Amino acid sequence: MRGRTLLGVAVASIALACGDVPTLPGGIAFITPVIAPSPSIAWGDTLRDSLGRAAPLRVFAIGRGGDTIRTITVRYLLTSLNTGATLAGEGLLVAADTLGSLRLVAQVTSADGVPVQLQSAELSIPVVPRADAIAPTTVDTSSSTLPVNTPLPVTVSGVGPTGARGTVAGVRVRYRIASVYPTSATSLTRLFYLAEGNSVVRPDSTTALDTTSSAGVASRSLVGLAPPAGETGADSVVVLATARSERGVILAGSPVKFTVRIRR
């Protein structure tokens, strides 16, 4: 199965790179990877979207002209054994009462029943504790003079099937610049934005999104620029970080409030 996965992906990639896309049964040129509504699944629960609603896995078949082919049947197969997880025919994934990871692939059959010789790459979804809390990771928010680049990490934790607490991977954390002081200097807001470490997303990013790592940590950095000549710099900037559980409930500790103080 692993070999067929790699072969299918390789065939599709080579054809696209050469500009000559083959047409398979049912008019299919290639299929997308398996798309999950969330990067993780809580133990004993159904895979859910960002609003906490049970949501299925998705795979799309693409035709030679780039159009989506809807007359297909998708079959999902769990490749990880003895996990106790189940997969409904419509792609609804349900985890068992245990932590770990679930691996799966998708196979497509065209409308006329002819098997298509492409199989998706294997997708791995971690089974995690049920998230219920968010807290700031120790960080020095007493900055130096502008310009600054201050990381603002948080850790999400939850309860596992045995009742033990642990960190939670795959939780979306939303950051927002809430205020810049002094508030009278409204022009100062354009001098601050959120970035991924040293990587600038765009110069007006007053909001940002990150997903917790395998250690349960998410982080974005507050970047501040020096004010133009003749303008007084800011004294402090407040950033809020908020997260929800897999069922859409605001986590205890949200919003985490970071106050970055700037020395003049």
pLDDT digits 0-9 by tens, 5-40: 333 443 343 344 334 545 566 678 888 999 999 999
The first and second tokens of residue 43, run together, are: 């133990």
DSSP class of 169: S
pLDDT of 169 reads 97
Same CATH fold assignment for domains 2-128 and 130-261: yes
pLDDT of 5 reads 38
The first and second tokens of residue 139, run together, are: 């960080």
pLDDT of 263 reads 76
130-261 maps to CATH 2.60.40.10: yes
The full set of domain ranges for the chain reads 2-128, 130-261
pLDDT-derived band at 70, boundaries 50, 70, 90: confident
Closest by CA position to 258, among listed 218, 230, 225: 218
pLDDT-derived band at 4, boundaries 50, 70, 90: very low
CATH class of 2-128: mainly beta
pLDDT of 188 reads 55
**Distances 47 to 84, 89, 113, 247, 257 between C-alpha atoms, Å:** 15, 14, 29, 10, 29
Tell me the one-letter amino acid at 222. Answer: L
pLDDT-derived band at 217, boundaries 50, 70, 90: very high
**Distances 165 to 133, 168, 257 between C-alpha atoms, Å:** 10, 9, 23
Q: Taking the mean position of all CA atoms in its chain, how far away is CA 61?
A: 23
**Residues 173-193: tens digit of each pLDDT:** 999 999 888 765 555 556 788
Q: Report whether the peptide linkage leading into residue 147 is cis, meaning its omega lies within 30 degrees of zero.
A: yes
Q: What percent of the chain has pLDDT over 90?
A: 51
Q: Taking the mean position of all CA atoms in its chain, how far away is CA 257?
A: 22
